[in-house]
Structure 1
Amino acid sequence: MSSALTDLFPHPIVQAPMAGGVSVPHLALAVSEAGGLGFLAAGYKTADGMYQEIKQLRGLTNKPFGVNLFMPQPDTADSAAVDVYAHQLAGEAAWYEAELGDPDSGRDDGYDAKLAVLLDNPVPVVSFHFGVPGHEVLESLRRVGTLTLVTATTPEEAVAVQQAGADAVIAQGVEAGGHQGTHRDIAENDGAGLGLLSLVAQVRECVSLPIVAAGGIMRGSQIAAALDAGAQAAQLGTAFLITPESGANALHKRALTDPLFVRTQLTRAFSGRPARGLVNRFMREHGPYAPSAYPEIHHLTAPLRKAAAKAQDAQGMALWAGQGHRMARELPAAELVEVLVAELAAIRTALSAHGGGAG
């Protein structure tokens, strides 16, 4: 099934926008030049910081690329619970000789300013995480020639994405590394997410939008399975996090395949919102007590995470990773795209030989 989105790039591979300095212009450049869709992550950046990265990438390639925005979050946090958690983190602050951050440092991630930049300086694709933008926002982007994608973690969320008027939906399975893109953060739903293939199949039955499958994908065979389930493309994050072009901390990259880190888990420990990462000391000690409070907890722990990285202490860092992290391959990003495409082609050839098919 062709779509305006997948017609932009030859291979059904999207590099996930990973905030926090991972999805830098040279990573997006390598993926887009190799025939996938590279992405910049505007999350936690200023509007000008986002614009400078767009300008840099445009100076390096004329290939399509995308920019990801975080939706503003409702003010639902329990300030008393945040204060209690801050008290629990006092020992971490003392250990790292760092001050805790201000939990009230901002809720909207500069959303309006970033949107204004993207309307004045249109990019080929914009995606949204943590909710659905209004119909008027999606229409304004369409008028300037930008295709829009919105993350959904349930079939119901996918229906809301279609009703809002987005061009495609990113179906994010519970296997995905980093933050779950749930539209509403409900603590009772922690850990109850759908696996990717089940989610894609269910979303395919309730919306007509093109689907980008995301969550735990590390091999061409998994891309083939996602396409066979009804997706038009696959979004990979952890697979690209380990590449030399990625801006991830070297400790983070090494941890993906380090036998010391045997599993991942969804946690609120670092940000107050469910996010999947490698289980380390900080997650074990603080995860059970972290309240539902995003972005307050993100702001609160930011100096601790920075200090841990400076101290070369992976046990205090947010080591975001999907469930397939042990399958990470230390290849240049362009070469990884080529390998994934070859694996996908091999699976399709094998299936065709046996009377089946994918995609």
Structure 2
Amino acid sequence: MKTLLQRLDLDLPILQAPMAGAQGSELATAVSRAGGLGALPCAMLSPAAMEEELDAFRAGTAGPINVNVFCHAPPAPDPERQARWLEALAPWYAEFDLDLEAVPAGAGRRPFDHAACDVLESFRPEVVSFHFGLPAAELLARVKAWGATVLSTATTVEEARWLEAHGADAVIAQGLEAGGHRGLFLTEDLTTQMGTLALLPQVREAVDVPVIAAGGIADARGVTAALALGAEAVQVGTAFLCCPESRASAIHRRALMSEAARHTALTNLYSGRPARGIVTRLMRELGPISDAAPAFPLATAAIAPLRAAAEAQGSGDFSPLWAGQNASRCREVPACEVVRDLALGLLR
């Protein structure tokens, strides 16, 4: 049986984590050229934007691509919860002289659907990865029909078993250290979430499909440790955010390379689902987790005006500064150097 690397025709067991809003085809292309698996986050892209980014990737490299999409169930708007959310944010709206009445009730990230699948089918990406479980059976069948390898994220052993039983070809074991959105989908109980070094060997024993380690891995030592614990590959995100190929904002980059990056927390304030980021003023003053925040992704709409107003003043106080617990290797170096450094222990 082929290993995951053989199946994907990869030189190195290094997967770049898809980071919606902070990167596009430039970073994915650079990682692919360096021998890893570049990822294109499409959760925030329209079908037309997906096509444009995939065109750019295919023009830049012949390597494989991982296209990442979300498969959450869109929530029904809840006017009462929305009103509580706006009430909680009202003091900051007043501070920036913003109009609470102008905030739309809806918005947010599209879940994977047939329109998105139509675009992907025309490009036949080698890997399609999902966050928050797997899509409906008919959509998953379409993806598998062109030969794509299907990945999805598990944050618990139970989620890993579920993914294997429902058609995932490999499981990404996402430790609690990981930046960005948690991939949890069978539970909302954050006490079930564990660190990478605890989660990885348990998932490895629980499933027969390949396992990819994610969370807290930023250098060759982390890669070596993950492989020793049974991972066939690692997924790394935060270490790439300050590369020139990243689209992370100047505010985000400054935070990543500052002492502030040592303090991260899970928060649902920016989207409605738990995600790890550098602690901001909003998280400190409101508390990182709030029952008032609307369900994912509806919380985003009311945060957007605050973020724009603060960023116009050069502040990230209301920005989602996504980062894992180990930002120690965030450097302004080309992505190929990050890949090379991650692979050092494999090349000796």
Q: Which moved more, 1:44-53 or 1:285-294?
A: 285-294
For 2:160 and 2:260, locate their aligned partners in 1 and report how far apart those are by CA, in whole Å: 37
Structure 2 residue matching 1:285: 3-state secondary structure: helix
For 2:328 and 2:251, locate their aligned partners in 1 and report how far apart those are by CA, in whole Å: 15
Q: Is the 8 A contact 2:272 2:294 kept in 1?
A: yes
Instruction: Give the percent of matched residue pairs that are identical in Structure 1 and Structure 2.
Output: 42
Deviation at 1:106, TM superposition (A): 5.5
Gaps spanning 5+ residues in structure 1: where?
347-359
- TM-aligned CA distance change 1:111 to 1:137, over 3 Å: closer
Structure 2 residue matching 1:248: 3-state secondary structure: coil
- TM-aligned CA distance change 1:108 to 1:242, over 3 Å: same
Letter in 2 for 1:137: L
Q: Does 1:156 align with 2:158?
A: yes
Deviation at 1:78, TM superposition (A): 5.0
Number of residues of Structure 1 aligned to a counterpart in Structure 2: 343
Identify the residue that residue 123 of structure 1 maps to in structure 2: 125
Q: Does 1:341 align with 2:339?
A: no
For 1:246 and 1:274, locate their aligned partners in 2 and report how far apart those are by CA, in whole Å: 23
Letter in 1 for 2:116: K
User: Which runs of 4 or more aligned residues in structure 1 lie more than 6 Å from their structure 2 counterparts after TM superposition?
Assistant: none
Q: Does 1:293 align with 2:302?
A: no
Identify the residue that residue 207 of structure 1 maps to in structure 2: 207
1:48-197 alignment, distance < 5 Å? 48-75=48-75, 79-99=79-99, 101-105=103-107, 108-109=110-111, 111-184=113-186, 186=188, 189-197=189-197
Q: Say what the alpha-carbon RMSD is for the aligned residues.
A: 2.1
Identify the residue that residue 278 of structure 1 maps to in structure 2: 278
Identify the residue that residue 4 of structure 2 maps to in structure 1: 3
Deviation at 1:81, TM superposition (A): 2.5
Deviation at 1:309, TM superposition (A): 2.6
Deviation at 1:57, TM superposition (A): 1.0
Deviation at 1:260, TM superposition (A): 3.9
For 1:212 and 1:54, locate their aligned partners in 2 and report how far apart those are by CA, in whole Å: 24
Q: TM-score, normalised by structure 2?
A: 0.92
For 1:263 and 1:6, locate their aligned partners in 2 and report how far apart those are by CA, in whole Å: 38
Q: Is the 8 A contact 1:191 1:266 kept in 2?
A: no
Letter in 1 for 2:271: S
Deviation at 1:261, TM superposition (A): 4.5
Superimposed CA distance per residue, residues 170-229 of structure 1 (whole angstroms, 9 cap, x where no aligned partner): 11111100100111452xx12541111211111111111111111111011111111111
Q: Is the 8 A contact 1:268 1:292 kept in 2?
A: no
Structure 1 residue matching 2:343: 3-state secondary structure: helix
Letter in 2 for 1:155: V
For 1:303 and 1:73, locate their aligned partners in 2 and report how far apart those are by CA, in whole Å: 25
Superimposed CA distance per residue, residues 236-265 of structure 1 (whole angstroms, 9 cap, x where no aligned partner): 010111111100001101111212444100
For 1:220 and 1:212, locate their aligned partners in 2 and report how far apart those are by CA, in whole Å: 15
Q: Which moved more, 1:274-283 or 1:137-146?
A: 137-146
Identify the residue that residue 217 of structure 2 maps to in structure 1: 217
Gaps spanning 5+ residues in structure 2: where?
none
